[in-house]
Structures are given as structure tokens and as C-alpha cells.
Amino acid sequence: MSEDRFATAVAALSRPHDGTGSLTEPILEVIPVSGVSISTIGEVLGSETVEASDSVIGRIDELQFDLGEGPCWDALIGGVPVLEPNLRRPVREWPAFSAALRHEQDIGAIFAFPLSVGSLRLGAVDLYNDDPLRLDEATTDQLIVFSGLLGRRVLERAIRLSGDSEDGVTSRHTRRLIHQATGFVIAQLGVSADDTVLLIQAHAFAKGESMADVAQRILDRTLTFTVTGARIEGAR
């Protein structure tokens, strides 16, 4: 039954998101926590809560944005999950955040998983529980899968809101360039066509370039993508 719920959630989060429907509900159907938020932080997209399942996790995000510390920042910087199973014991990390949280909320546990696409670090998925809670390895692995999918959805949202999406590419020459570059990267990295297009969009978005410019540099071999560990990096 739990495997069915996980598969259903993966399917829901794998679909392009048009701004309707919830991105946190599929997670709450699978993960036994009290609340979930999806937020962008840092230089790429700025600090914003994309979606919060309740006001408590929304306030947790606000505190971290305002104080510049907390599990979401550590997840963003380190690129790995941050797990604090018991906030009712002294926590040395995040002294200002921990003090503010204790003053405002009675939270038992907090977790953060990084949001990224390729080398772009975008933000974090934060989760809290009313009571202390230790995530087992299987649950942690499920959340890593969810955060990987949500990184794509969050970047798609940012590109859609900026108006700089592939849908705006009308030139036949430009479409051909992007198509050729997509095939080049697929052969290079062995990733899907959808992920390759998103990777090109992500690089263009981060560098303030057009997709056509990025595609041309890929074809000229002045821009290459390589897999480093579990990440895809772009290099000149």
C-alpha cells in the first residue's frame, strides 16, 4: 500500500506543473510528518515560499529567510539533507533560528532537503513534525526522490513566470539549434530529452542568456556538461 502511494506521488510530481493543484499534498500522502513547504532561497531565484501546507511551516520558512540561518540554508549550501529529529533537546546549530522557533512554535522535529537542477541550487523542501521523529533510511530516500522532482517543477515555474520558456521560441532556426543541442547532450549524458531541455533552460536562466545562445555554445563545444557525483555541471 505504501509503495502504491509513493508511486502515485512520484507520478504526480513528475508532471509539469501549471500552477494549479498542490505540490505538497503528494508528499503528505506518503511521509508521516505534520507539514511541508517548498521554498526558493539564495541568489538564483531569491527567497520565497512557493507552497506551504500550513501556516506553521510557512512561518518556519519566514524565520529562516529573515535570520539567514536554519536547516534550509544548510541543505542549500551543503547539497545534502539536513535532519534534526528532536528539537526539544538543545540544538547547537542555528542559535538564532532555534531560539526564535522555541519562542513561537512547539515543534518536535525539522528536516530540509535541497532543491537543485544540475548545478543550480534553488532552495529546499522543509518538513516539520509536532513530535520528535527520526526518519528511517527508506523515508529519507523517498524524500530525496521527491526533492529531485520538485527542483524541476520549481525551475519550470520560475521560467514560466519570467516568460522565458521554450514556448516563446518561434524561429525555425532557433528551434533547430535547440533540438540539435538537446540530442548532443542526451548522447553526452544519457539523460532524458525533457531533462535535457530543462537543463538548457536552467543554464540560460542562471546566466541571463537565451536558449539559442546556450544551444549554439553546446554545438560549438564551448559549453559541455559533465556528471560529477550525482550532479550535472556545466563547464566552458
Residue 230, class by beta-carbon neighbours within 10 Å (0-12 exposed, 13-18 middle, 19+ buried)? exposed
Same domain, 77 and 49: yes
Number of structural domains (the chain) is: 2
Same domain, 158 and 184: no
Which of 140, 162, 184 is the endpoint of a domain? 162
Which of 115, 136, 162 is the endpoint of a domain? 162
Same domain, 228 and 114: no
Give exposure, 174-198, as e/b (b: 16+ Cβ within 10 Å). Answer: beebbeebbebbeeebebeeebbbb
Same domain, 177 and 75: no
Phi first, then psi: what are they for 121, rounded to 5°? -100, 120
- According to the model, what pLDDT value does residue 54 have? 96
The CATH number of the domain where 226 resides is what? 1.10.10.10
Domain membership of residue 192 as a residue range: 171-235
Q: Which of 214, 206, 153, 156 is nearest to 46 (CA)?
A: 206
For the chain, which ranges sit under pLDDT 50?
Answer: 167-168, 229-230
Span between the terminal Cα atoms of the chain, in Å = 47
**Residue 161 half-sphere exposure, CB side, CA atoms within 13 Å?**
10
Which of 109, 133, 162 is the endpoint of a domain? 162
Same domain, 149 and 34: yes
Per-residue pLDDT of 212-224, as tens digits, reads: 888 899 899 888 8
- List CB contacts of 182: < 8 A, sequence separation 6 or more: 193, 196, 197, 200, 215
d(CA 104, CA 95): 14
- According to the model, what pLDDT value does residue 230 have? 47
Percent of the chain with pLDDT over 90: 49
